[in-house]
Homo-oligomer: A and B are copies of this chain.
Amino acid sequence: MSVKLTEVARQAGVSLATASRVLNGSARTPAPAIADRVRAAAEELGYVANAQAQALARSTTGLVGLVVHDIADPYFSTIAHGVQETALQHRRQVLLAGTDIAGGEPEGSAELSAVNAFISYRTDAIILAASRLQDEDPRVSSALGRYIKNGGRVVALGSTGIPGALSLPLPNREGAAALAAALLDRGHTRFAILAGPPERNTARYRVEGFTAALAAAGIEPMAVVPGAFNSRGGYDATLECLDLPGMPVAAEAGKNDGGAPGLCILAANDVMALGAMTALRSRGLRIPEDVQVAGFDDIPTLRDHSPGLTTYRLPLEDIGRIAAGLALDPNGAPAPGITGEVVLRESAGAARG
């Protein structure tokens, strides 16, 4: 239906080969006079190369696949932004899949069908931003293994068990430990952990980091509550937590001013922490006076939050850029290690009045 190269060639009075060489970047460049004729014809007819046909002929598609959990989650959307930026620099298009979306093939995990779709479209690379599940579907691994063997590049955030895949390690454990340590430093002694979904590595590593740092100080968390990795999950887990017997809140609300810090809630990510703050407010608890809260990621959204959320900052957009660089640049420099930093704000650990 669209204008094709044959028509451009005919209009310009040259062969298909010449037209192709002029318009779609070949090593050989036809004579300037001819080239101009071809370009003029293409312009006049409104020719747009068929990328599918090019992909077939060149056996490279110019596509990069990005797998996230939930594109509406600021963590992923910020990473996606970084990926897009680098993809554009490399003249690649990004194919997006979210694994939190129902309705895919019934016979498999969402991750499996996303990966299979990308493999089917022969993306040049696949970036797995969604945290690997603890029990990786072996079909995903074997599909990706074959994909890699066939020349595809796979880069995963965090670790992966897939041989040949590149991984961009994230300081989840270390960051969580550093954050907990900073809070211990500020005199906190009573912690509750909103652990997120235990089957996600990201959540698990962070919880491990928290508990390891606490253990090193001889402290055991008063509660470790699992929950969904979103605002609602943080909200629900917090209410559940507050209702546990012996929690140093509620009854004592207001009694902590100037005294020992009360309960400090450590959430596995920022959106959960935000949900936690909402839950605390719904119980009339003040932050940080009655209960303190910390998150993880430093999503851009926090910029406008009050009280400011103490967190561990991950350079999310950079992570996206670097992951895409790894995926697209065959002989690029090895990935710089990702480092984050503890960010103390009013919600926990910041200087108190």
A303 to B50, CA, bound (A): 44
| CB of A85 closer than 8 Å to a CB of B | yes
Q: Mark A255-299, 1 if CB is under 8 A from B, else 0.
A: 000000000000000010011011001000000000000000000
CB distance from A122 to the nearest CB of B (A): 6
How many identical subunits does the complex contain? Answer: 2
Chain B, Cβ-Cβ closest to A234:
B304
- Cβ contacts A to B, 21 pairs, < 8 Å: A1-B151, A2-B146, A46-B142, A48-B120, A51-B121, A52-B121, A71-B80, A72-B78, A72-B80, A72-B300, A72-B317, A74-B301, A81-B101, A84-B101, A85-B101, A93-B95, A94-B96, A95-B96, A231-B303, A278-B306, A281-B306
Which residues of chain B are within 8 angstroms of A95 by Cβ–Cβ distance?
Answer: 93-96
Starting from the known contacts A51-B120, A271-B304, 20 additional A-B residue pairs (CB-CB under 8 Å) come to A1-B59, A2-B146, A48-B119, A48-B120, A50-B56, A50-B122, A52-B55, A71-B71, A72-B80, A72-B317, A73-B77, A74-B77, A74-B301, A81-B101, A84-B96, A84-B101, A89-B103, A93-B95, A94-B97, A277-B306
Instruction: Say yes or no: A275-B304 contact (C-beta < 8 A), given A72-B77, A84-B96, A98-B81.
Output: yes
CB distance from A70 to the nearest CB of B (A): 7
